[in-house]
Structure 1
Amino acid sequence: MPDSPVSPDDLEYRHVSGTRVIYRARQRRTDHTVWLGLALHLPAFLLSLSLVLAVALAFNAWLGVPVWLPTALWTASGVLAFHRPTEALLARHVLHLHRPLPAELTTLAPVWREVTARAGVDGSRYELWIEDSDDLNALAAAGHIVAVTRRALQDLPTSQLAAVLAHELGHHTSGHSWSGLLGWWYTVPGRLVWRALALVKPRLVRIARGASITAWGLLLVLVAYLTVITAKATYGLPLLLPALPYLTAAVGRRAELRADAHAAGLGFAPVLARLLEQSIAEEDSHPDPARGTGRFPAASRLLSHHPDHRTRLHHLRKYL
């Protein structure tokens, strides 16, 4: 089959049909960011487990349901992260994605086949999705979801689209996607309780305003006593809880850099670097008024799970 004309932007990328592809024997692995991320989710998991146990005890008291049954079902429910129909529901109703239209699939599928062929990965194991968004973005989720935004599919040259997909494939092959989903799933009970507290917050504030100074003093003494007792019993581990969001964000940023390294290892470093340079130039020419604002902008940056474009570009230099 003769090669089709290629624009200068696509010189780093050629899709050649009929090429023999050799798959790697081990197509997935888990790097250190996976285990660090799961370890940092452990306190939230234990909190959620205690909430599930409380619900199980209530069901046991009211309906006679064995305590172990709902607890075991919730603990085992994490396997749904790799269940294809459940992933489809997650993609549609949580991530708000949709299947590619025929014209979109005509553009996306050949690029995905080229990227996965370079990586020695069976691309048919993954599901391609589209996000209706004006951002230049893509995402990898669960065990098999790979999505790009409509704008990325329409505006990015083929080479840059391939580099973005290679980055997302790196999240899958390194285990970032499934571990992130498990961390999210097992903290759902805790987040539901937090949302419930947010709903009753106005009422709690009104009650607190009407409390006397004596009541406030007794409450503070009780909280301080419980804090000291808990810290002694757990060797001070709860004191690390305020640092968990920052540590989790740092691990997330490291995972993004690892995914960039995966794309660079497949030969997409120059294309990805050019894409990052374009993003930096766009940010400089059209600054976001909300960026860097707030009471503690440095803390906001530390809580970001994505490194800024300049940091990513700096780490890509060694592959150029």
Structure 2
Amino acid sequence: MTKPAESPGLPPDYPRYPEAPPPTPAHVPSQPSPEHDDLDYRHPGGTRVHYRARQRTADATALGRLALHVPGFLTSLLVVLGMATLLEAWLGLPAWLPTALWLASGALTFHRPSERFLARHLLRLKHPIPCELALLTPVWREVTARAGVDGDRYELWIEDSDDLNALAAAGHIVAVTRRALERLPEAQLAAVLAHELGHHTAGHAWTSLLSWWYSLPGRLAWQCLAAATVGLIRITSGFSYVAAGILIVLLGWITFATLTLTYGLPLLLLALPYLSAAVGRRAELRADMHAASLGFGPMLSRTLHDGLAEEASPSDDGMLSRLLSTHPDHRTRLHHLQRYLTPRP
């Protein structure tokens, strides 16, 4: 396997990362055939680009994610209504007003200033410096040209991380790590960006953020309730075990009554992390298929092969951690990419 080429254009003082150790034969399967290493990823259509009429869709994975979070949304709605009712009793503020504002706040997913705040302060991303932008922009334009998507609608960001990674978030955020920008050849960087573009065009990015946002009040209320319950049991057990027992029975009765009145809706929240992780793994495979359908299958496969040496073996992780993982392992992704690696006649 040839050593990945260094990306040109970086200044001499730009931070460098050590080369990854060569893959061990016991852990890494055979590499793709050599003819895939030198494939030209350039757009064959020249300078003319045809944009698709529909730049975005919401595929089955995106819709499934939204459907999974309906119980969390309803729980959050009850929490917000409860808080709004308390504000109405305390300040005289109409209860419908904060509830309506919370429901409308999801539109901030596509609000550019809100996205930039999310990128800077929550995701810890940075704007590319000129030399980074000079490397990213032509590759990004190549990817979007193949997809028939207006690349100017999206904003490119840099994550200061030593991982070979990238991400798509909100409505217009596409980010790559500094190490990925430095280490990956242009063709492989294009494959990674095509994968992230697939998350945007299929609706995975914005549905993920909306699901997280609208289930947040319910999760916070659950955590506060659990912490308060544990603390109260500890306090009462310090005085009397009988009092602690009575409190536990009382809490059990309240829990049973709540589940009865809500038809067991809160129980779905316990299974939500596992179901959501399964949908996330499916979304990753669909984004891989999007990149491969644009002709980046061999390049993406090469990137995954290179990452196998740094990925922990599935046997090293417990069953619970694998079920909660939002990304399939590299071997699974490579298996699904095999049909895109056959050279076309």
TM-score higher than 0.5: yes
Is the CA contact (8 Å cut-off) linking 1:15 and 1:110 kept in structure 2? no
5 Å matches for 1:171-210? Answer: 171-193=199-221, 196=224, 203-204=231-232, 206-210=234-238
Q: Distance in 2 between matches of 1:301 and 1:258?
A: 19
Alpha-carbon distance, 1:173 to partner: 0.2
SS of 1:89 mapped into structure 2: helix
1:101 and 2:125 equivalent?
no
* Matched residues, number: 307
Pairing partner for 2:112 from 84, 101, 106: 84
| TM-score, length of structure 2 as denominator length | 0.81
Q: Aligned partners of 2:330 and 2:236: how far apart in 1? A: 45
- Tell which deviates more after alignment, 152-161 or 44-53: 44-53
Q: Do residues 151 (structure 1) and 175 (structure 2) align? A: no
Which gives a bigger RCO, structure 1 or 2 (Cα 8 Å, sep 6+)? Answer: 2
1:19 pairs with one of 47, 71, 87: 47
The answer to whether the 8 A contact 1:249-1:302 is kept is: yes
Amino acid at match of 2:305: E
- Counterparts of residues 260-271 of structure 1 (less than 5 Å): 260-271=288-299
* 8 Å Cα contact 2:87-2:93 kept in structure 1: yes
Counterpart CA distance in 2 for 1:122 and 1:183 is: 26
Does residue 245 of structure 2 align to residue 221 of structure 1?
A: no
Which letter maps to 1:315? H
Residues 233, 248 of structure 2: 8 Å contact kept = no
The structural deviation recorded for 1:252 is: 0.6
Contact 2:43–2:146 (Cα < 8 Å) also in 1: no
**Structure 2 stretches of 5 or more lacking a match?**
1-35
Match of 1:317 among 338, 341, 344: 338
Per the alignment, residue 325 of structure 2 pairs with 304
Measured after TM superposition, the shift of residue 133 of structure 1 is 0.4
| Partner of residue 120, structure 1 | 148
C-alpha contact 1:12 1:271 (8 A) present in aligned 2: no
Instruction: Give 1:140's aligned residue.
Output: 168
| Aligned AA (2:335) | H
Deviation larger for 145-154 or 189-198 = 189-198
Q: CA RMSD in A?
A: 2.6
Superposed CA deviations along residues 209-264 of structure 1, whole A, max 9, x for unmatched, are: 32534334433433443444444444444443322111110001000100000001
**Structure-1 residue corresponding to 2:11:** none
The question of whether the paired residues in 1 share the 8 Å contact of 2:143 and 2:193 is answered with yes
Candidates 63, 69, 81, aligned match of 2:97? 69
